[in-house]
Chains A and B, each alone.
Chain A
Amino acid sequence: MSSSDVVIQVDNVRKVYQSGEIEVEALRGVNLQIKRGDFLAIMGTSGSGKSTLMNLLGCLDRPTSGHYYFAGDDVSNFNRDQLARIRGERIGFVFQGFNLLTRTSAIDNVMLPLVYSQKYKPKERRERAKKLLTKFGLGDRLDHHPNQLSGGQQQRVAIARSLINEPEVLLADEPTGNLDTRTGLEILAEFQRLNREDGQTIIMVTHDRDIANCCSRQVIMTDGQVVGDRRTTQPRDAAAELAAYLKSGRHLLLEAAS
């Protein structure tokens, strides 16, 4: 495998938070290499540093020490605007809490990265956003505002936004954390399809072993360090899981109970 296949290389990265007098070492020397086309799950107990790592990978934050190479560039000492450019054009980020602009329609939310990257003309932006939203089953919700959409729909808008610039890496910090099992499985099936059909590199944080088992690789973190890293022997198919789940009728029971 050639080195150009490596899209993310993390070398001995440490992150120290200073909150008042106390120093919290959220990452203590993380090493990680991620290749193009990987579908990676990051697992670990709460407070183990998963989100901290994701924020660094997403160029939202900078490491206290160590190096982070994104597609060969050492971005650990990139300036504010260089990082912004990478975030806008080469990385897509999906948050647990969606993070959509509340007073803005779905399509305008999806177009937002294009407004800053200036790669397309306004008309093209709209076309692309529309196409992507339609692909995620929201073709009839283009002008709805986030508060007019369900959680799953909002997360799909957020995913469309993260993919609009055709990023090299899609990062998702507990994307299904706020969703019910069925909607979570739907999102997961979407990710799996992106990874299989488009070769989209995806890094996803999850607490759920079943979800992790749908990914091709699983990284376990404890106390700011990577303690386990293995390939999933037989990745499960999220679409099949979803079908089985719907067939079992468990969701109906759940829905009736609630």
Chain B
Amino acid sequence: MNLYSTFNTATNALSANKVRTALTSLGITIGIAAVIAMVSAGHGAKSKIDEAFGALGPNLVIGFSGSTTTTGLRVGADAGGAFTREDADAIRMKLKGLINGCSEVSQWPTEASTESGSHKTVFAGGTPDVFKMRRWTLREFPSGPRGRFYTDAEVKSEASVCVIGDTVVSKLFPYVNPVGKTLRTREGNQFRVIGVLDPKGTSFTGGDQDDCIMIPVTTLMKRVSGKDHAMLLIAEARSSDLTNVVKQRMTEIIRRQHHIRPGQDDDFYVNTLREYASMAELFTKTLSGLIFAIASISLIVGGIGVMNIMLVSVTERTREIGIRLAVGARTKDVLGQFLAEAVILAMIGGLIGITLGSGIAWIISYFAKWEFVITPESVLAAALTSAAVGIFFGFYPARKASMLDPIECLRYE
């Protein structure tokens, strides 16, 4: 019996029992759908994380205000910031060869307005190093003055200048080149726009990175918030191998700056972005491991379903097997026929699973706002997996059918 006849016979038998076929392949459908969705979502999440951390600057070392006490309790976080200009300067001086830049950073909510309207956003105060470390670039306009970042001199002089993100531009300056224009805050401060940032999109935590007004940190603290300490201290190591050294040295320097004695708890803690990246990776890995386990179980259950139905089918069709044997079917013909049925059954489940899984992956990617990718490899792997499940679980029933005795089959009622 050739491949075509085998395939034909198998599909005929399966289409004679459509509901049964559909229900049996359901288990495999779920398993394959889970695998496809997981692989796709994993891709999406990973590229999103990579992109997010890449955009942040992968070698960032960040100091946070507040501390983790020996009891694990975090204190001081809401007591205001922990970092000063002097802290940043000390680090910049002492770690010169190890870092590309260092800046204290503070944020403050605000509402800015122009003739075009008003918009709730945040001030982000920092030094020019922030632009470098966070890989911000300036947007070019076809006409009008070219923008720029604020300078160290403007930080020193607490100048009322700002560089604004794309979202702010679209709300406050929808039709004009904002460079050189002025915006006003609720508190009555006026800021001259000196530059516009290229858009970055959402961050991996879901926030809109383009919805901010960047001003010198000194201006923020003296004129807007009234605080004298910044919440964050950001430094960028020169290379990825240096991040841990920078983290350690930064901690030492800040402790000295803050006069913290040995044994005393810090009022800050320092982490590298790399640690967060690996944490995020670990999280997605754990999650995909979990889904993989569910998918495997579902495939096994689906496979057992296939085996069960094939055993039922062999018994039901004993007489048919007898007739086939009587007119010359050989062991391999009967084996092939039932194996083909099991494989097709499993692959129907697999193909529906691929479609369903792609759909789920698309929905996830839509809401998680990441790239939707279904790689041909994963589709091929899913198809092969379902075929393998069919072969594995279909073999025993098929073998059983092929070993039947022709006379006993023909006598079977």
Chain A residues within 8 Å of B, Cβ to Cβ: 55, 58, 60-61, 80-81, 84-85, 87-89, 93, 95, 99-101, 103-104, 112-113, 115-118, 122, 161, 165
Contact = CB atoms under 8 A, between A and B. Distances in A.
10 contacts: A60-B407, A61-B406, A80-B331, A84-B330, A87-B406, A95-B410, A100-B323, A101-B323, A112-B327, A116-B333
Nearest to A82: B330
Interface string B1-13: 1101100000010
Contacts of B328: 84-85, 87-89, 113, 116-117, 165
A112 B406 contact: no
B326 interface: yes
A61 B5 CA distance: 27
Contacts of B330: 80-81, 84-85, 116
Interface in B324-352: 324-333
Q: Which of B12, B323, B324, B329 has the most CB of A within 10 A?
A: B323
B12 A103 contact: yes
A58 B327 CA distance: 10
B89 interface: no
B323 A87 contact: no
A112 to B, nearest CB: 5
B327 A161 contact: yes
Nearest to A80: B331
Contacts of B329: 84, 88, 116
Given A60-B406, A118-B1, A99 B323 contact: yes
Given A80-B330, A88-B328, A118-B1, 9 more contacts: A87-B327, A89-B328, A95-B410, A99-B319, A99-B323, A99-B410, A115-B5, A116-B1, A122-B5
B198 interface: no
A178 to B, nearest CB: 15
Contacts of A60: 325-326, 406-407, 410
Contacts of B2: 118
Nearest to B4: A122
A154 to B, nearest CB: 13
A104 B328 CA distance: 17
- By secondary structure, the B interface counts as helix
Given A103-B16, A116-B1, A81 B331 contact: yes
B405 to A, nearest CB: 8
A6 B12 CA distance: 42
Nearest to B16: A103
A113 B16 contact: no
A113 B326 CA distance: 9
A122 B332 CA distance: 20
Contact of A101 (B1, B4, B320, B332): B320
Interface of B: 1-2, 4-5, 12, 16, 319-320, 322-333, 406-407, 410
Contacts of B332: 81
Given A101-B320, A103-B12, A103-B16, A116 B407 contact: no
- By secondary structure, the A interface counts as helix
Nearest to B320: A101
A161 B332 CA distance: 22
B327 A116 contact: yes
Contacts of B4: 122
Contacts of A117: 328
A89 to B, nearest CB: 6
Nearest to A117: B328
A126 to B, nearest CB: 12
Given A61-B407, A81-B331, A116-B333, A99 B5 contact: no
Contacts of B16: 103
A87 B326 contact: yes
A103 B317 CA distance: 11
Contacts of B325: 60, 84, 87
A61 B322 CA distance: 12
Nearest to B328: A88
Contacts of A112: 323-324, 327
Contacts of B326: 58, 60, 87, 93, 99
A132 to B, nearest CB: 14
Contacts of B331: 80-81, 84
Contacts of A118: 1-2
A100 B329 CA distance: 15
Contacts of A89: 328
A61 B326 CA distance: 10
Contacts of B406: 60-61, 87
Contacts of A93: 326-327
B12 A113 contact: no
Contacts of A122: 4-5
A235 to B, nearest CB: 29
A142 to B, nearest CB: 17
A21 B323 CA distance: 30
A117 B406 CA distance: 17
A161 B326 CA distance: 11
Contacts of A85: 328, 330
Contacts of A95: 410
Nearest to B332: A81
B157 to A, nearest CB: 91
A160 to B, nearest CB: 12
Contacts of A103: 12, 16
A58 B407 CA distance: 10
Contacts of A55: 407
A138 to B, nearest CB: 18
A118 B326 CA distance: 16
Nearest to A83: B406
Contacts of A161: 327
A95 B320 CA distance: 14
Q: Which of A84, A103, A161 has the most CB of B within 10 A?
A: A84
